[in-house]
Amino acid sequence: MSPFDLRGPEFLLFYLVLGVIVLAALHVSRRLAEPTETIKVDLSDPYLIACLRGGTNEVLRVSTISLIHRGLLQVSGSMVSIASSQAIEGIRTPVERELLLYFNQPREASSVFSDPRFPSIMERYNQYLESYGLLPNRWVRANRERLLGVGLLVLWGVALIKMVVALSRGHTNLGLLLILSILFGFFAFKLVLPRLTLRGKAMLADMRVLFAGLTLRPASQFTSADVALLAAVFGAAAIPSSVFPHALTLYPKAMATESISGRAGSSCGSVSSSSCSSGGGCGGGGCGGGCGGCGS
Amino acid sequence: MKMHDRAGIGWRPELASGILANLDRIDVLEVIAEDYFDHAARLRALKTLARQAPVVVHGVSLGMASTARVDGKRLDKMARVVNQIQPESWSEHLAFVRAGDIDIGHLAAPPRTSDIIEATAANLFTAQAAVGSMPQMENIATLIDPPASERDEPTWLGDTLNCANACLLLDLHNLYANSINFRLDPRDFLARLPVERIHAVHISGGKWIGDSSDRRILDDHLHDPPDPVYDLLAELAANCPNSLTVILERDGDYPPIEHLLAQLDRARSAMARGRAARAVAIPSRPSVSERCAVLEAAK
């Protein structure tokens, strides 16, 4: 018996099962097609990490925060401006140079996201991440699009044929099937076309673990490199307000949406020191095991 | 033979940004194995770290120097870390860390007896079988001379390493601190160690404790290595036939990364100084091209 001859509820059940199977097949096929092994990449550039985490807007945000923390940009309310005309001297990073030029006039911090001069500067970050398989390159994108095409062909093709069959038999109650097919299509897009590759997602997760200990540093010891890296890996919301008090004023939308869960999977760093004295003398702080309140 | 001495630093999450931004000035990273025992996500992150720089693994909880058998579960966890990360080497301490089922929370010096030597060797062979390679064993600092000892520390270290055919991870600050605390000559201590078994070195700092009549050094890893540690490193490099990997240990009160990098440079200088002295003392074998030139000349 053809499934298209099934009655409405039975066909919906059949379509539900088919949809779940197709989505699972898409998920598995994508995982198998994309490399996951760890690779050597340049972890020293916070802007690269910011680009991996949140795209070009995050690069601009982290770069602006870094320039403010280093005193090259200054904040007045929600406006940002260059601290002095000499600030640009010695700055070699293209995005930082362009930001200093942009804020030569006082402007809203978030206005930079819509300025047309920055996307081309960001291209090198995207290209680097694509070349290392952290963002989808054109082969990965093509493969994903092929997968999505096949999935949608099955999901929407079956739905379409059933609708034609039903309409030819005088049935017009197709609302549930339509909704179901749209929902499956939405999930297929989400499953097959995520922004990051599996390797990129894993790399970002690894960096969150590796850099979780940054949050353990006393605020007085935060260097500019720490601030940039913390913002790059966890988002601006992760920077202690005592270190960078302007985040909420400059980026209220981003601060509202950045989940606190993005900060760190675990705030515990080393659980033990290495070779401290015996004899009960380790009162200094680093020795004796136990990281003091991380619960791990 | 050309030596490839290296200087690296203990990976501490608080130093992460500074370390990763300066990997061109750090030859090797040492990670504490126990930090990754029960955390799959951390272990995966460690794999990523190990792709960025050479990594060695250091254990602190196995308690090998004991008549108690090494904990099989901990050993399995160590094996998992080592197998996943494939480090250049792994190491542990010549110490005991538990009595009965009670973890004492410290690396404690065992009595330096023949029984302990044999038990330690047995534990090391067990570890070798479980992990796949023999750990390098580190001398520890102690404020208490272990009671019932039959040997002094240099003799005990040599005997233990010979019995297990293991290498010594020489902690020069521990050697220095124990020498000061127990009125030994650190250079004599160093000279009595089996240098052919030394491939790795720890350097760190501590602080003076006690009153003027009984001043001792506490190895707390919170201070810079003192000058005598660098002198001992130079002395070691002058006598050791192996390439050395020096790890700077710092467990808190972290200074700026530049300060730590300067200490790595100082360690490299000390080793270079020692190697230069060694080259004078032991002229190197002529290279192949040099020998060919001599043969040509003879013809």
Confidence grade of residue A211 (pLDDT, cut at 50, 70, 90):
confident
Query: pLDDT 10s per residue in chain B (299 long)?
Result: 678 999 999 999 888 888 988 999 999 999 999 999 988 999 999 999 999 899 999 999 999 999 889 999 999 999 999 999 999 999 999 999 888 778 888 898 999 999 999 999 999 999 999 999 999 999 999 998 899 999 999 999 999 999 999 999 999 999 999 999 999 999 999 999 999 999 999 999 999 998 878 889 999 999 999 999 999 999 999 999 999 999 999 998 889 899 999 999 999 999 999 999 888 877 656 656 666 676 676 66
Measured between beta carbons, which residues in chain B are less than 8 angstroms from residue A209?
A: 41-42, 44-45
CA distance A35 to chain B (A): 14
Per-residue pLDDT at B224? 95
- pLDDT category at A92 given cuts 50, 70, 90 is confident
CB contact under 8 A, A225 and B49: no
Alpha carbons B199 and B195: distance in angstroms, whole number: 8
Query: What pLDDT shows up at residue B205?
Result: 94
pLDDT above 90 (res A64): yes
CA distance B74 to chain A (A): 15
Q: What percent of chain A is predicted at pLDDT more than 90?
A: 48
Contact A282 B21 (CB under 8 A): no
Residue A273 predicted with pLDDT over 80:
no
With a cut of 60, say whether residue A268 has pLDDT above it: no
CA–CA distance, A197 with A205 (Å, rounded to integer):
12
d(CA A73, CA A67): 6
Residue A164 has a pLDDT of 93
pLDDT at A261 over 80: no
Residue A242: pLDDT band (50, 70, 90) is confident
The conformational region for residue B248 under phi > 0 = left, psi -120 to 50 = alpha, else beta, is: beta
- pLDDT of residue A274 exceeding 70, the answer is no
A88 vs B: CB within 8 A? no
Residue A118 has pLDDT above 60, yes or no: yes
Q: Which chain A residues are closer than 8 Å to B44 by Cβ?
A: 38, 202, 205-206, 209
CB contact under 8 A, B14 and A43: no
Residues of A in contact with B218 (CB under 8 A): 277, 281-282, 284
Evaluate if residue A32 carries a pLDDT over 50: yes
* Residue B260 host element (H or E): helix B257-281
pLDDT of A129 above 90 = yes
- Closest-CA residue of B relative to A214 is B14
CB atoms within 10 A of CB A77: 10
A278 token code pair:
């015996």
* Token pair for B192: 């009595």
pLDDT for the residue numbered A296: 29
User: Which among B35, B51, B251 has CB closest to A38?
Assistant: B51
Instruction: Residue A229: list chain B partners with CB under 8 A.
Output: 16-17
Fill in the DSSP letter of residue B223: S
